[in-house]
Structure 1
Amino acid sequence: MGVTLRCGAATFVLVLAGCGGGGGEHDKGDAKPSAGAYAAAATTGPGAPVSSAAHPPSAPDEAEAQVLKVYDSMWAEQMKAYRAASAEGTDLKLYMAPDALGAVEADLDRMNKERTQMRGDLRHAPEVTTLALGARPPTATVRDCVDSSRWQTLDTTTGWRLPPPAGQPVRYVVTAKAEHGERWTVTEYAADRTRPC
């Protein structure tokens, strides 16, 4: 299967709804992250792109830090895009593989047709659960616990905030895949709204 963002819907909350995608075999369980973990993740802003060296670092802790930096930077740029229903003015292409970026752009196009935008913040607490520096290309898996309690869909025609999908957990598991070519990029992003965390 090609590189893909495996979710598609009209808004970022719905992008994360109904998509399969549990963690890998090295998942660290479904324990709820602490409030401090959410606070730390919420205040992490986008950083400069990870080094474009041809080879990833040999030290696992350095590679994990680079993967999380790319993931957090992608996250911040996605938030910006979904608040405006447009990828213009964002740096998503620095952090996402082309097919994954194309899926986000398709969601943004749908939002424009439905006249919706997002407001508020999605908090999260990502961690690297698998890292294969010896693979060709090197790969990593990020497991995230997303908190959507402060994230709402706005109908830009009426100005009304639309209710979230009924019966779905506020906190849920997201799994992302990353690969290192010229630099680390996110190649897949999948949420499981049936799997609370």
Structure 2
Amino acid sequence: MTTARLTRWAALCAAAPLALALTGCGGGDDGAKPSAAPPAASSPTPSPSASADPDAAEKTAVLASYDAMAREQMKAYRKADAKGTDLEKYATTEALGQIRNDLATMKAAGTVVRGELGHETEVTALDMEAQTPTATLSDCVDLSGYETYDVKAKKAVPLPTEQPLRYVMTATAQRWDGRWMVTGIDPQGGEGATC
């Protein structure tokens, strides 16, 4: 596995989830005096919009499973060993095989992952009608806080010069026995696309 591919693989181990803060703006006149007229009757609470995503709960569950798998993967990459992680709870045999291959490469090279990774993941496809419900995810991976560390030399290994700091990769997941499992990870799934 090339250094660039290893770097992309290690990028999957996604650090902490992004926190998004939503704020609202008031449009009232702060200097306005209260009206002596009784307040107008409040309108009934609107019913959920027909355009609301009926699969929102499933998409949230897919993302939660992916994020949990990525956290466990980061634990493994930090020590180049899957022992003591819960990867099996979130990833299937194929995805685990990919991770284990990376860990073997890292162990042979004497490297571990340090720093943090950023990721912005979204579910790009969801098929709940399939015999085994399936999802496709797109992850914008941010390597700006990522570092490969050579344990023997006790120094950071610089990223290859051709490695973009932000790029798109894909993953797949399936719903097994009521829970989502990551079934495949393609670090080059975005075909070199940056985000």
Q: Report the TM-score when normalising by structure 2.
A: 0.73
Look up the match of 2:65.
70
Structure 1: distance between partners of 2:162 and 2:73: 25
* CA distance 1:161–1:43, shift in 2 (3 Å): farther
Kept in 1: contact 2:8–2:187 (CA 8 A): no
What runs of 5+ residues in structure 2 fail to find an aligned partner?
21-53
Deviations 1:93-123 (A, max 9, x none): 1110112101211211121111100100110
Can you list the C-alpha shifts for 1:48-104, whole angstroms capped at 9, x where unaligned?
A: xxxxxxxxxxx5111111100000001111111101101111111111011210121
Deviation at 1:15, TM superposition (A): 2.3
- In the superposition, the TM-score normalised over structure 1's length comes to 0.72
Secondary structure of the residue aligned to 2:84 is: coil
Deviation at 1:185, TM superposition (A): 0.5
What is the rounded CA distance, in whole Å, between the counterparts of 1:127 and 1:40 in structure 2? 15
Identity of aligned residues (%): 41
SS at match of 2:125: strand
Alignment of 1:20-99 (within 5 A): 41-42=17-18, 59-99=54-94
| Contact in 2 for aligned 1:12/1:118 (Cα 8 Å) | no
Query: 1:119/1:42 Cα in 2 relative to 1: closer, same or farther (>3 Å)?
Result: farther
Shift of 1:142: 0.8
- 2:157 is aligned, of 137, 154, 162, to 162
Question: Which structure exhibits the higher relative contact order, with contacts defined as CA atoms closer than 8 Å and separated by 6 or more residues?
Answer: 1
- Residue identity opposite 2:17 in structure 1: A
Match of 2:44 in 1: none
**Residue in structure 2 matched with residue 135 of structure 1 by the alignment:** 130
Of the candidates 159, 175, 180, which is equivalent to residue 184 of structure 1? 180
